[in-house]
Amino acid sequence: MGHSAAGIAVSGLPATVDFALIGHQESWRAAADVLAVLRGPEHTPLPDDEIKDILPWIPPRAVCHVRVGSISSGVSDAKAHGLYIDSFIPPDRLGAAYTHENIARVRGAAAYAIKAGARIVSLGGFSSILIEGNFDQLPERQDTAFTTGNTLTVGFIVQGIKKMCRLAGRDIRRSTLLIVGATGDVGSGCARCLSPLVKRMLLSARNVERLRALASELETNGVQVELATGLQQFSQEADVVICAASLASPSLLLGRITPDAIVCDAGYPKNLSPNAQMPGVKIFFGGLGQITGGLTFAPDFHGILNRHPFPNVVHGCLLEGMALALEGRFEPFSHGRGHITPERVEEIESIAARHGIYLAPLYNADGPLEDRLDRQMESPRA
Amino acid sequence: MESVIALKSPTACTSLSPSAAIWQDVLAQAMTGELIAAMNYTSLAEICDDPEEVADALEHADGERWHAAAFAAEGRKMGLDVPNNVNGKHWKKLREAFLRCIEDRDFIACLIVQEIMLESFAVASYARVGKVGPGSLGKTFAAIAAEEEEHVDHALSILRTERALDAQRFDDKVYRLHLDVMTTLAKMLAKECKDGHCEVCHGSCVKPSLFDVSLSAAELRGASLQQYLKTLDMLGLPGEVTLAWVTQLPV
């Protein structure tokens, strides 16, 4: 199947849609870049005020075709074809006041994926938070499976924490881990995976009952657990932090952490406020994986839809759908809230790795991190 | 170009309410659009071979004339003469685009222009006006929006059947017509009239004043383009392709 109208050549694309990725843009800059690609180089980019006027009216729809390759030699057709579907949630309308409107947009995007015949759909970014893993909120479907993708996100966050501790010469077994957004699907999954490894856990969330339930579950691993609804209420300072809160914008200011803490910002949108002054803290963006078997977009959205300093880096939640499609497992691997276990994380990590999807190189707003950390370790006084 | 309904020459509203002048222009645009639609359906009847299709087209033309009359009546209730100008800059271009389809005796192209493009604009913008228009004016816009939507449903089934025969050819035709018609509509719907006066508004451009009646040019454009995209979705055109079309329109 191909399509030539409008001069958009997407010829050679298969008729089947193995996977669909539902997402939205995190900032107006990102949204502007997407629209600029769609407008093409022969048209001047839309002015910012026009973008803000037009984007909220765009119904959820496919923006581009996505093809992902596998490194697996045992798979006969080691490729999967999919669609990136944008729900066109305006970047400044992620707050609670827009919840109903945004759920309608995610439902619209899900309906589009079903109509396109997608066999598995990953709910990226805020989409899964809005649906809260409750797939009953999605349109009726027959042959389409939905996954929040949160299990692989947890896997990459945990792998990132371990890697950062190793690079920073930190013994994770002696660490005090703070999880912000601990009762969410991602936060609680991280807590379950890391509780056997750390000395102490500080769990922060808004719902005390859920916090207590999680704490009693984790304490069976022998870890010390402290709970709080506010970050200033903990008795201990954390030296490892995971930020996995559902925030409409980067606005989190951390308190009670050590000056050289390792901080994983796993939010989409990011959790940490750009105004957070933490000069000695080692921040990295977590939950990201890298595809080594090849990733192509038609039209070409490289560097636009995946705005990372390394090639073929994608959020874990979206990668989960791609990995499952490559594996031929069209099933709701991650659903509901609070079901992510270390065993499930291990399973999805194995599937992803079999197809060449691994933890992405670590980076933050200042760029790649790993070389910088290596240099710091070689000359600690530098 | 032919005159469809003879009306008194427009007089600027000196006014019953501060918003009356705005409603006068809104009604003038709507009425002109309905008259263009009536002319289009009359022309369409001339190229139909099937007597049933001829009757359908003429019935639609009558319906659109009735809509125009209803808008004129709403103006009278407010003490306004509602002008119309089917030779106004943009409306004339839209009519000419339709007449090119008639010249080609291309029934499908005619339906695409009138039912998919022009009616998307009418349905969406009338529905918005229907929400904020005072009293019977709002009700009339809402009722006509609902009627226009029914036309679209009827046309969609014909067009879907046509697309099923050769999707590529059909989509290429829609794109060609999109470039012609939607470019003009996008200029009409732009937040500012950059190419001079539209020749329908009785004074200066009404768009900046729409805020005074809880409307905005951006809202009318957004709603119209959304309706257009949704209608193209219903026809089965690929969403990623139609999205690119719409983002390439002038602003």
What gap in Å lies between CA A326 and CA A70, rounded to an integer?
7
| ipTM of the prediction | 0.88
| A43 interaction partners in chain B (CB closer than 8 Å) | 248
**Residue A80 token pair:** 């999967």
**pLDDT for the residue numbered B15:** 46
Task: Please indicate whether, in this complex, the C-beta atoms of B240 and A40 are within 8 angstroms of each other.
Answer: no
What gap in Å lies between CA B175 and CA B227, rounded to an integer?
17
A330 in the same domain as A236: no
| B189 interaction partners in chain A (CB closer than 8 Å) | none
Asked if residue B2 has pLDDT above 70, the reply is: no
What is the pLDDT confidence band of residue A65, given thresholds at 50, 70 and 90?
very high
Measured CA to CA in angstroms, residue B221 lies from B126, B204, B230, B251 at distances of: 12, 19, 14, 10
CA distance, residue B168 to nearest chain A CA (Å): 7
pLDDT tens per residue across span A244-256: 988 878 888 887 8
| B241 interaction partners in chain A (CB closer than 8 Å) | 3, 5-6, 8
What is the pLDDT confidence band of residue A75, given thresholds at 50, 70 and 90?
low
What is the pLDDT confidence band of residue A145, given thresholds at 50, 70 and 90?
very high
Task: For B168, name the nearest residue in chain A, comparing CA atoms only.
Answer: A3
Q: Which class in CATH covers the domain with range B20-193+207-247?
A: mainly alpha
b/e sequence B207-219, b meaning 16+ C-beta within 10 Å: bebbeebebbbbb
| A35 interaction partners in chain B (CB closer than 8 Å) | 247
Measured CA to CA in angstroms, residue B204 lies from A60, A236, A377, B22 at distances of: 36, 68, 70, 10
User: A1 and chain B: CB distance < 8 Å anywhere?
Assistant: no
**pLDDT for the residue numbered B52:** 92
CB nearest B175 (choices: A5, A39, A299) = A5
A315 in the same domain as A283: no
A257 in the same domain as A137: no
A295 in the same domain as A208: no
Asked if residue A10 has pLDDT above 70, the reply is: no
pLDDT tens per residue across span A366-380: 899 888 888 877 775
Q: Which of A289, A301, A288, A173 is nearest to A240 (CA)?
A: A173
CB nearest B244 (choices: A4, A6, A59) = A6
Kindly give, in sequence order, each residue whose CB lies less than 8 Å from that of residue B177, ignoring residues fewer than 6 positions away.
B97, B101, B109, B112, B113, B117
What gap in Å lies between CA B95 and CA B1, rounded to an integer?
10
pLDDT tens per residue across span B25-78: 999 999 999 999 999 999 999 999 899 999 999 999 999 999 999 999 999 999
b/e sequence A345-358, b meaning 16+ C-beta within 10 Å: beebbebbbbbbbb
pLDDT tens per residue across span A343-364: 999 999 999 999 999 999 999 9
**pLDDT for the residue numbered A104:** 93
* pTM, to two decimals: 0.90
Amino acid B196 reads G
Share of chain A above pLDDT 90, in %: 71
Please identify among residues 188-217 of chain B the ones whose CB lies closer than 8 Å to any CB of chain A: 191
A181 in the same domain as A138: no
A179 in the same domain as A248: yes
Task: For B245, name the nearest residue in chain A, comparing CA atoms only.
Answer: A6
Report CA Rg, chain B.
Answer: 17
Amino acid A362 reads L
Task: Please indicate whether, in this complex, the C-beta atoms of A46 and B247 are within 8 angstroms of each other.
Answer: yes
Q: Which of B186, B240, B174 is nearest to A38 (CA)?
A: B240
A9 in the same domain as A139: yes
A129 in the same domain as A23: yes
What is the pLDDT confidence band of residue B9, given thresholds at 50, 70 and 90?
very low
CATH number at residue A268: 3.40.50.720
**pLDDT for the residue numbered B100:** 97
A273 in the same domain as A169: yes
Q: How many structural domains is chain A composed of? A: 2
Q: Which domain holds residue A213?
A: 154-287+363-378
| Domain ranges for chain B | 20-193+207-247
For chain B, give the mean pLDDT. 89
* Residue A340 DSSP one-character state: -
The stretch A274-291 carries a mean pLDDT of 90
More confident residue, B90 or A139: B90
Side-by-side strand order, sheet with A224-228: A224-228, A200-204, A176-180, A238-243, A257-265, A282-285
